[in-house]
Amino acid sequence: MVALVTGGASGIGAAAARRLAAAGEHVVIADRDAARADALAGELGGTAVVADVTDPEAVGALIARAEELGPLGIVLLNAGITAGQSGIEDIDLVGYRAIMGVNLDHVIFGTAAAVPALRRAGGGRIVATASLAGLVAMPGDALYTATKHAVVGYVRSAAPTLAADGIRINAVCPGFADTPLIAGAKSQFGDFPLLTPDDVADAIEAILERGEPGECWFVQPGREPAPYGFRGVPGPRGGGAPPSVDWRSGQ
């Protein structure tokens, strides 16, 4: 079987790619860093692809390339960036579009492109790398928090539909991890415990093994990763089942 990892040349993506290769998967490593992707693919006997994950056509071509190598069984939508701005007053549109494109669009485009291939393989797994910032507010980076909340909401909402086709979609929500994403700010953490990429790869392995549709697993140093327990929103007074609404029809 084939496993695809976006943002797979370093950090969490590279750690997960190594686990998948050790489990016998042919790993397709998609990354904008061609040299690192090539080096890791060579180490793992996988395939490196340079792709713009914010472009739906490029993502479609990436899925097609993965499927050429065999039945596609696992898709890890892991690529991500930070905003570099507060997102409250100093909106820089180029940076705003970039973080929305990488952190959110790529998860949606990747899922939409992967589903037909996973159906052809008889089912499979999609895991999106979100963040604890997808479960709780992260003051100081409102745009990053917005994208990760959106990923969590998308995964939870898409899960019932995909489960009917034997496709399970989940999110992994790590706390602060010692990856290139925080390299510029690492000194600010002091003695605060950081996750390692392998800690997050452990959680991804657990999700692939026993995660239920739509679960979003938190990952924190010193704790076993587990599904986050969302509280239900109180329903309307008077009871009754929630309506099943097809928003596409306007009904």
Q: What is the pLDDT of residue 73?
A: 98
Active site residues: 144
Q: What is the pLDDT of residue 251?
A: 47
Instruction: Please say whether the beta carbons of 20 and 74 come within 8 A.
Output: yes
Nearest to 161 by CA among 130, 128, 119: 119
Instruction: Please say whether the beta carbons of 70 and 1 come within 8 A.
Output: yes
Instruction: Please say whether the beta carbons of 168 and 212 come within 8 A.
Output: yes
Side-chain-facing half-sphere of 94: CA atoms under 13 Å: 0
Domain formed by 2-227, architecture: 3-Layer(aba) Sandwich (3.40)
What count of other Cβ atoms lies within 10 Å of the Cβ of residue 167? Answer: 23
Residue 47 φ/ψ region, left for φ over 0, alpha for ψ in the -120 to 50 degree band, beta for the rest:
beta
The list of the chain residues with pLDDT below 50 reads: 251
Q: What is the pLDDT of residue 206?
A: 98
Instruction: Report the C-alpha gap between 96 and 131 in whole angstroms.
Output: 18
